[in-house]
Amino acid sequence: MVTTDAMHTQAGIAEWIRGRGGHYVLTVKGNQKTLRKTLKALPWKDVPSVSSVDTSHGRRVRRTVKAIEAPRWVDFPAAAQVVQVRRTRTTKNRKARSKSVELVYLICSLPMTDAQPEVVAAWIRGHLGDREPSPRRSETWSRARTATSCAPATAPKS
């Protein structure tokens, strides 16, 4: 299972992983505008959710996860399921409370029968940790390689 941040959510990388017998969980953000818009337009209101709360590190984080089978018209290689993760983070300091909400979409090559939504979300949470994404700090392909057991030894050739 290969997990990556949004920078590596590319059709060529997905094909490369699947061509070598691996599976992927890829984060879809603004660098894939059309794919993100397509995933955002799916009928999420009708999808049941699973929530969990974490209160470590002086903050409260609620993750709400929804997953659906990837429709055939989602144009991404070997996409089997799409997961929506809504993360609401509340922090308290001496002066005020702060609340932020992040909505992330994941695309996964494993069907829902093999990987339930909360498992997929846990895989990506393990990859990204509990930090806010930063435009200055980007996960590298080598980080993805060390964070997984079946990631490629080299980047795919274009």
Two tokens, residue 66 = 């929804």
Q: What is the pLDDT of residue 56?
A: 78
- State the pLDDT at residue 130: 42
Strands 2-4 and 24-28: parallel
Are 5 and 128 in contact, with CB atoms under 8 Å apart?
yes
pLDDT for 95: 74
The tokens of 77 are what? 């290689």
Q: Which residue ranges of the chain lie beneath pLDDT 50?
A: 128-158
Say what the pLDDT of residue 134 is: 37
Give the position of tokens 């609620």.
62
Look at residue 110 in the predicted model and tell me its pLDDT. Answer: 85
C-alpha–C-alpha distance, residues 158 and 51, integer Å: 39
pLDDT at residue number 132: 40
**What is the C-alpha to C-alpha distance for residues 94 and 58, in angstroms, rounded to an integer?**
12
Q: Where are the beta strands (DSSP E) in 58-108?
A: 59-69, 81-92, 97-108
